[in-house]
Amino acid sequence: MAALSNCMSALVCLCSEICARILGSVCMRRGYHLWLAVAVSVTPFLQELSNPRSIFSNSNNFFNVKFVNCSCGWTFLLLSGFVLLVSLVPTGRPLLSLRHLSRLGVSAAICQGIPYLFQLLEDLTGYCHQPMPPGTLLLHRLETRHSCQAEGHQWRGYHVSPQIFTLTLCSLSLAEELAVFVRYLRRGYPAGTSLRLVFMLNASLLGLYNLLLVSTALYAPNYTQTVVGAAIGTLCWHLTYRGWFRTPYSPGPPGSGMFPRLGGVRNKLG
Query: Mean pLDDT, 10 residues at a time, over the chain (270 residues)?
Result: 78 91 89 89 80 71 79 93 90 89 94 91 78 56 68 77 93 94 90 92 94 88 88 95 92 86 44
Q: Are 99 and 251 in contact (CB under 8 A)?
A: yes
263, 260, 267, 251: which is closest to 177 by C-alpha?
251
Q: Which ranges in 179-192 belong to alpha helices (H)? A: 181-186
The whole-number pLDDT of residue 269 equals 33
**DSSP label at 154?**
E
- For residue 107, give the amino acid letter: S
Contacts of residue 111, Cβ cutoff 8 Å, sequence gap at least 6: 71, 72, 75, 76, 166, 169, 170
Rounded Cα distance, 79 and 101, in Å = 9
The whole-number pLDDT of residue 178 equals 95
The whole-number pLDDT of residue 268 equals 37
Rounded Cα distance, 149 and 173, in Å = 36
Rounded Cα distance, 219 and 214, in Å = 9
CA 194, chain centre distance (Å): 23
DSSP secondary structure letters along 109-146: HHHHHHHHHHHHHHHHH-EEEEEETTEEEE-TT--SHH
Rounded Cα distance, 179 and 202, in Å = 11
The whole-number pLDDT of residue 244 equals 94
Rounded Cα distance, 21 and 261, in Å = 21
